[in-house]
Structure 1
């Protein structure tokens, strides 16, 4: 039988989340509310449209994989993403439910074995037309599997979580990571430089990343060609390839991608070798 959520704890936690609405503290506060109901080691929040947009995580183990691998390529093999493309509805879903026992071996190796996640639950949260949030809750191998009682508790709190997320992201504004960091000017300059040098992770070649950096600085095709000593047609080819690899359709989407990378990248976005 599902144990009732203590009224005083529920009131306190709900108050904290409501107070955090429309602030950078919202996602972390919401995750803490959920973790009072069911213990998880890891949480990852994404906005899903044409490609996933990073919003929040509390990962402490293998966090760099999220930015170097998952957000640039492996998300396309994620069983939750695949199920969402096929019409998966709002609710609480386990990995077993969405994969139906057919997990891509490459994805199992690059994500589950690499990160140590042994259990995963996804909360599918449509918040407005064209935008669905996916909140992933993961357990590392030190924890026992999710019980029926724990799953029932997640399902019981889902309507509250869904309503709060609709309030937080109801406006038609660009999605940005939920970061409360306030760096000084020197730290910000360093973070921007490092993020420029690492945008796209190892999905991009050295030349494609150079083109991306110059695009982000506002240079046009001719100026980029002059700066790099290559032809304008070559610049266009590099731009086409980097957009395809990052699943972007325009310079505006590249800027949005970079802003999230800047805010979210571990250690300020250290360059990828």
Structure 2
């Protein structure tokens, strides 16, 4: 059946489904009918709150659910999330278009994308409000599979309609702009991670390492030599008592999730404090 016919048939069902709980699954069904994919997820980021997983195909790994790792705060390092929040980029993108050099060597990539089995990902980034947005991720997991030029063009062609439907569906879920801005708090925690123990330059290097930047791109961003980057990273690892990027990644996650009533600063301050002795 021609793609236009498939799109038209699904669209007829999607329009009245906006605002209904069935909308995310129906949207994924339409995208699957148009472009062959092995995996799909839809994550909604409200204005001030943590992400809401609207559609997800669960992956169980030796380390537990990849969704659990993502929801603990790892989403802060996701290239799609950063494109929408930091760079205000919206549209249809492949992961390779948004990720930094060296990203596939990062612990975030290994924990999230590789554990999901992705060989290629193409996703929609759609704004729903000033700071809210939706990320629709489509993945191919077969060996050496990738999105063809025709498939990418088709996703680009239907983007305006998909965006209009998503904005109508999720605009109703934005909630109040009052209260604590949880996402802003997490951004602050990431920026400040390690700052209580490290120099300013070491903190900058560690932050870029967590985001998946290679030694070369860290050097380029900070206008220092690659050897200086390696020296800062070595000193930072020693001070943080970690020996690898994997240990650094989980130290960040553990300290973030252990923070109670976070009010700013380095989450390691409270995390490394010895537990208070009980009064007897």
The TM-score with structure 1 as length reference comes to 0.59
Deviation at 1:88, TM superposition (A): 3.8
Structure-2 residue corresponding to 1:107: 108
Instruction: Label 1:151 to 1:99 Cα distance change in 2 as closer, same or farther (>3 A).
Output: same
* 1:4–1:146 Cα change, 3 Å: same
* CA separation of 1:54 and 1:243: change in aligned 2, threshold 3 A: farther
1:55 to 41, 53, 56: 53
Higher deviation after alignment, 12-21 or 158-167: 12-21
Distance 1:36 1:240 in 2: 45
Unpaired segments ≥5 residues, structure 1: 176-202, 209-237, 247-273
User: Which segments of 5 or more consecutive residues in structure 2 lack a partner in the other structure?
Assistant: 177-252, 268-280
- For 1:78 and 1:55, locate their aligned partners in 2 and report how far apart those are by CA, in whole Å: 15
Cα deviation digits, residues 113-163 of structure 1 (max 9, x gap)? 222111111201012222111111111134721111110011011111001
Q: How many Å separate the matches in 2 of 1:70 and 1:89?
A: 21
- Deviation of 1:245 after TM superposition, in Å, equals 11
Summarize the Cα distance change of 1:167–1:148 in structure 2 as closer, same or farther, 3 Å threshold.
Answer: same
TM-score (norm 2): 0.58
TM alignment of 1:184-203, pairs within 5 A? none
Contact 1:90-1:125 at 8 Å conserved across structures: yes
Runs of 4+ with >3 A deviation: 49-52, 172-175, 241-246
Equivalent residue, structure 2, for 1:232: none
RMSD of the TM alignment (CA)?
A: 3.2
d(CA) in 1 for partners of 2:117 and 2:173? 36
Matches for 1:148-187 after TM superposition, within 5 Å:
148-171=149-172, 173-174=174-175
Q: 1:52 to 1:58 in 2, by over 3 A?
A: same
